[in-house]
Structure 1
Amino acid sequence: MKNKLRRMLKTTENEPTASPSTNEAQKTTAEQTAWLDRGADILTFEDEWIVRLDHRYALEEKHGHRSYAEVFESLQLPHPPLALDVPLNQVIFFDTETTGLKGTGTTIFLLGFARFEKGQLLMRQYFLPHPHYEAALYHHFLHDIGEDVRFITYNGKSFDWPQIKTRHVFVRERVPRLPKVGHLDLLHVCRRMFKGLYDSFRLTAMEERIGFERTDDLPGFLAPMHYFQYVEHQNPAIMEGVLEHHLHDCLTLVSLYDECNRLVTHRQEAPSRVRENIGIWLADLGIHEQSAEHFGQADELTAEGWLRQGRLYKKLQQHEKANTCFEKSNTYEGFIELAKWAEHIAKQPSVAYDYTERAKRLLENRQLLASRRERLFAELNHRSLRLQRKCRE
């Protein structure tokens, strides 16, 4: 049995590792064997070990109504907001499970990623069987992902990766390397694209868009409790629900990326509000031509949409189109823009004065901070007085 276990224990090639001592191996043999029986790998580092589980999916397989082949295609489209500047095998869909939400005492006990390699989608999970084996966890995870990666996450830019950097501090004497990391956080993408359409932007809410529904899913807030039970009892069955929940989180990122990419690249029909939201997002990024295309595909716009489209056309020096949008916005901001155009470009101070007065009336009905309201009225009154003087000249 010991010889069989020794053959099955895996270490990273060309990396300095040390097998557990004889006593340590005897203490953990039953626990490790239970994981091996489930198809996992046992990875060692110095006197520590962790569990790694791999799942491989053919490109024809699906998560929701998206095939992995479709995602593979999306990752190769060079559209600026969602494009990634590294080879596909350096793009990883990444998520973690932790013992808490913040603080230096919070431990990552499960991390993993999905990525495309060898014509398949690889889903890989790293499980920390004992809290004091973190050096082994980060040694193998960092070795596997490489020197230059791009994370696709959901709230990972402000949580998962910062948490890894925090925990890495405690093992950096033994695991000194952190890779060069780029980040695309789909939480912020979804908030931009689907603003006004959802009350919640939790990942499970976004799964509606990709046609995936979880069944008998373990709620994420229960994951720490299961981990603490595992540490006490060393029974892999305790972690089944947590592992499945984490796996679905990563696979959802894969399909959700394709969903967002298809909307941005016009390969999928979208409601007017989504087109408007994408147009505003691209305008903020300075991608003006694509922004105008998305605005143009929207059947109707909100007041904010007309205003932002107007400002886009103004920047492109298309003043006639811009003025039409400002009128349709029916906002005080829009009439301020029209007043500027009438005064400085059309040289029509009387028209500019009328627009300024209309802006004042619309401003009266807006709920604003008192200080901002006072400042705006002062600016408009100053403009009105200047325009009155011009009209008399």
Structure 2
Amino acid sequence: MKNKLRRMLKTTESEPKEKPSPTKQEQQATAEQAAWLEKGADILTFEEEWIVRIDHRYPLTAQHGHRSFEAVFESLQLPHPPLALDVPLEQVIFFDTETTGLKGTGTTIFLLGFARFEKGDLLMRQYFLPHPHYEAALYHHFLHDIGEDVRFVTYNGKSFDWPQIKTRHVFVRERVPRLPKVGHLDLLHVCRRMFKGLYDSYRLTRMEERIGFERTDDLPGFLAPMHYFQYVEHQNPAIMEGVLEHHLHDCLTLVSLYDECNRLVTHRQDASSQIRENIAVWLADLGIHEQSVKHFGQAEELTAQGWLRQGFLYKKLRQYEEAVDCFQKSETYEGYIELAKWAEHIAKRPDVAYDYTEQARKMLEQHQLLSSRRERLITELNHRSLRLQRKCQQ
């Protein structure tokens, strides 16, 4: 009897234990991941979380708009100060995000990605957050991939995308790499300076006119959050196809738009007088005087403010003869005030300075200004006139 019980106990212990059935959540996750894998995506895991990474590679001969990516590759080699990026080429990333809202700590980044030149191609990489509570995995892999010292080329990223990343990183910073050292070239600000007065809107899709790219059947960006919430509910990758394509075009547009702006700044592309004037003023504000002079010189005609700004530039360079010519052509009260200063202090002609002062007064009467500014200018002109009258009588 004892031997029989011993044999029965041994048999029971040697039988393999049955594995517990996968939970409904595990079954759904497996099916969800398989659906992404079928679309050519990669599943990246971190601790108990996972995200989706999608890569596209383009040869340099490929185009987005009317120029190839090879042209952008060449533009990145040009050391022109306003658009130069002081890191190796592989550390320059053309970056964009998609979020569940425009602001606030409750806003989640569910899609981020970048285009970057790598191994003789242009790599377009997207990171998708399948579930809002997997943010640690999202930032772990994104920060690991971009490295510790990068330069972002974005469109409104300096005031939106990167601050959003810093905000969300706070919630997972104990688990993921620290944020890298980041330099920033925001093409929104570049376009506003270069194309001032030419567009009523500086939306990225509007700037695509300059690179010769037109979207077809594009999903409007404001619908992206709605699609993401639908995805979270149904776990169907097809729901995100339009959002992914919209985001991909945003990043590729940054690549081509950078080249467009760089060509205009480096004189490798013809431009209207208005664009040349805008670039010249922008460069003058940055203190890049030599290039500013070149752009002013290439403009066939200038606005009154353009002549005025060119005059101030020549004055700063102590090229007074050229400055006087520009101030005269501006036909503005500011220009006549500068002419009065020149006549009094440089040419030593108080009588001429007095005439310029009176012309400035007449021009000032034709301009609508804030009363406080008008009163201040009139007081200054009155003071100047009295001083010049005394000098003329001596």
Task: Using structure 2 for the length normalisation, give the TM-score.
Answer: 0.93
- Residue 217 of structure 1: SS of its match in structure 2? coil
CA RMSD in angstroms, aligned pairs only:
1.1
- Aligned partner of 1:381 in structure 2 is 382
The equivalent of 1:7 in structure 2 is none
Map residues 181-220 of structure 1 onto 2, 5 A cutoff. Answer: 181-220=182-221
- The 1-side partners of 2:137 and 2:64 are apart by 31
**Are 2:85 and 1:84 aligned?**
yes
Q: 1:27: Cα distance to partner? A: 3.9
Match of 1:14 in 2: none
Instruction: Please give the per-residue CA displacement for 1:1-31, whole angstroms capped at 9, x wherever unaligned.
Output: xxxxxxxxxxxxxxxxxxxx99864441000
- Contact 2:98 2:247 (8 Å CA) reproduced: yes
Aligned residue in 2 for 1:341: 342
1:238 partner letter: I
Distance of 1:174 and 1:56 partners within structure 2: 30
The residue type paired with residue 143 of structure 1 is H
Indicate the larger mover: 344-353 or 116-125.
344-353
Q: Secondary structure at the match of 2:95?
A: strand
User: Which ranges in structure 2 are unaligned for 5 or more consecutive residues?
Assistant: 1-21
Partner of 1:353: 354
Query: What's the CA shift string for 1:286-327, capped at 9, x where partnerless?
Result: 111111000000000001110011111111111111100000
Give, as a single letter, the amino acid of the residue that structure 2 aligns with 1:365. Q
Pairs within 5 Å for 1:15-164: 25-164=26-165
* Residue of structure 1 equivalent to 2:265: 264
Q: 3-state SS of the aligned residue for 2:81?
A: coil
| Cα distance in 2, alignment partners of residues 242 and 44 from structure 1 | 23
Mapped contact 2:327–2:335 kept (Cα < 8 A): yes
Give the conservation status (yes or no) of the 8 Å contact 2:143–2:177. no
| Maintained 8 Å contact 2:144/2:177 | no
Aligned to 1:275: 276
Aligned-partner Cα distance in 1 for 2:34–2:187: 38
3-state SS in 1 of match to 2:210? coil
Following the alignment from structure 2 to structure 1, what is the Cα–Cα distance between the partners of residues 76 and 369? 42
User: How far apart, in 1, do the equivalents of 2:241 and 2:64 lie?
Assistant: 19
Using the alignment, how far apart are the partners of 1:105 and 1:146 within structure 2?
A: 27
Distance 1:212 1:145 in 2: 28
Contact 2:96 2:114 in 1 (8 A): yes
State the distance in 2 between where 1:48 and 1:249 align. Answer: 28
Q: Distance in 1 between matches of 2:24 and 2:92?
A: 40
Partner residue of 2:18? none
Q: Which amino acid aligns with 1:264?
A: V
User: Which position in structure 2 is the counterpart of 1:288?
Assistant: 289
Preserved contact between residue 231 and residue 239 of structure 2 (Cα < 8 Å): yes
Cα distance between partner residues in 2 of 1:150 and 1:232 = 36
Shift of 1:360: 1.1
Q: Tell me which moved more, 24-33 or 150-159.
A: 24-33
Paired AA for residue 54 in structure 1: D
Give the structure 1 partner of residue 369 of structure 2: 368
Q: Provide the secondary structure at the position in 2 that maps to 1:158.
A: helix
- Residue 6 of structure 1 corresponds to none
Mean Cα deviation higher: 375-384 or 111-120: 375-384
What is the aligned residue count? Answer: 373
One-letter amino acid of the counterpart of residue 379, structure 1 = E
* AA at the equivalent of 1:360: R
Structure 1 residue 369: deviation in Å?
1.4
The 2-side partners of 1:41 and 1:125 are apart by: 10
Q: Which residue of 1 aligns with 2:166?
A: 165
User: Please, which runs of 5 or more residues in structure 1 have no aligned partner?
Assistant: 1-20
Q: Which letter does structure 1 place at the counterpart of 2:77?
A: Q
- Percent identity between matched residues is 85
What is the distance in 1 between the residues matched to 2:55 and 2:291?
A: 39
1:8 — aligned with what? Answer: none
Q: 1:92 offset after TM fit, Å?
A: 0.3
Provide the rounded CA distance (Å) in 1 between the counterparts of 2:373 and 2:122.
52
User: How big is the shift at 1:376?
Assistant: 1.2
Helix, strand or coil at the partner of 2:55: strand
SS of match in other structure, 1:301:
coil
Instruction: Identify which range, 171-180 or 114-123, moves more after superposition.
Output: 171-180
Code of the aligned partner of 2:330: S
1:12 paired residue number: none
- 2:329 and 2:389 map into 1 onto residues whose CA distance is 26
3-state SS, counterpart of residue 318 of structure 2: coil
**Residues 23, 235 of structure 1: CA spacing in aligned structure 2 closer, same or farther, 3 A cutoff?**
closer
- Hey, what does 1:18 align to over in structure 2? none
Q: Does residue 246 of structure 2 align to residue 245 of structure 1? A: yes
Taking the aligned partners of 2:355 and 2:26, their CA distance within structure 1 comes to: 85
Decide which structure has the larger Cα Rg and report it: 2
With over 3 angstroms needed to count, the CA separation of the structure-2 counterparts of 1:193 and 1:200, relative to structure 1, is same
* Aligned 1:220-239 pairs, distance under 5 A: 220-239=221-240
1:156 and 1:366 map into 2 onto residues whose CA distance is 38
Aligned residue for 1:159, secondary structure, equals helix
Distance 1:175 1:375 in 2: 57
Distance 1:174 1:381 in 2: 68
Shift of the alpha carbon at 1:151?
A: 0.2
**Once the 2 structures are TM-superposed, how far is the Cα of residue 388 of structure 1 from its aligned partner?**
1.2
